[in-house]
Amino acid sequence: MAPEVEGRGMSVVAGVGSGRTAVVIGGASGIGAACVDRLRTDGWRVVVGDLVAADGVLPVDVTDEAAVAAFLDAAVPEGGLGLAVVTAGVSTLARVVDHPVEEWRRVVDVCLTGSFIALQAAARRMDAGGSVVLLSSLNASAPGTGLAAYCAAKAGLDMLVQVAALELGPRGVRVNAVAPGLVPTPLTAPALDIDGIEDDYLAGMPLGRAGTPAEIAAAVAYLADAGWVTGETLRLDGGAHLRAYPDLVARVEAAFGM
């Protein structure tokens, strides 16, 4: 999957129905925004965290423990957090021998450490029945040239999901992840504009098409209420995990004469 948006802010969207409270970190656009819409439709009261500034939005850095704690306290002042969806993430593209260490640390800090911080803080505020859904990626299991940091971070996130599910299960708190393949969003658009990249992705998908944010959101909604599912990473990639991952670096180098 191409990298998803990094979420670091807050706004409140009132849901209907039961009044259950969910937080979606990274919910201003793309997959995160689709999750907000789906959860609101399903009756959740949703508090959205994201980097994008807007009326009523307060920034919250997923890599900052105090900021995440403050965000969650503001989101659920009376307790009763039922669901946390964490879609924060960034990526970079560089071959291993050329990969700046500071970029490696930035990607791992947001995608893996940031997800850990958000998971930890959310779980501390959940009672039995609570659920956490993290955003993994096809790249957790499919290596891609130029994506060493992203692949490593997402692979680590999948194991984080399993360990957290093992530890939190006795408390009745579930932890799962969704792992999308190619989903066009505003963030993935620049990569897909490079000649040949989208064709390479689609050639590797038995179903022959990209996914949609709404399809990922439907899976998140399922995991939110799937009371006997925990420790799972649900792959949503049109079957792309069955075939070789495209060589993104080669396409970039060809496009820019590198």
Give the separation between CA 149 and CA 125, rounded to whole angstroms.
30
Instruction: Report the relative pairing of strands 174-180 and 233-236 from DSSP bridges.
Output: parallel
The residue assigned the tokens 């930035």 is 106
Instruction: For residue 146, give Cα distances in angstroms to 100, 120, 143, 153, 251.
Output: 12, 30, 9, 13, 11
Phi, psi of 48, deg, nearest 5: -105, 130
H or E element that contains 12 = strand 11-13
Annotation marks residue 201 as catalytic: no
The encoded tokens of residue 220 equal 């998140």
Specify the DSSP class assigned to residue 241.
Answer: G
Give the span between the Cα atoms of 62 and 73, in whole angstroms.
Answer: 14
Do 90 and 110 form a contact (C-beta atoms < 8 A)? yes
Show which residues are catalytic: 150
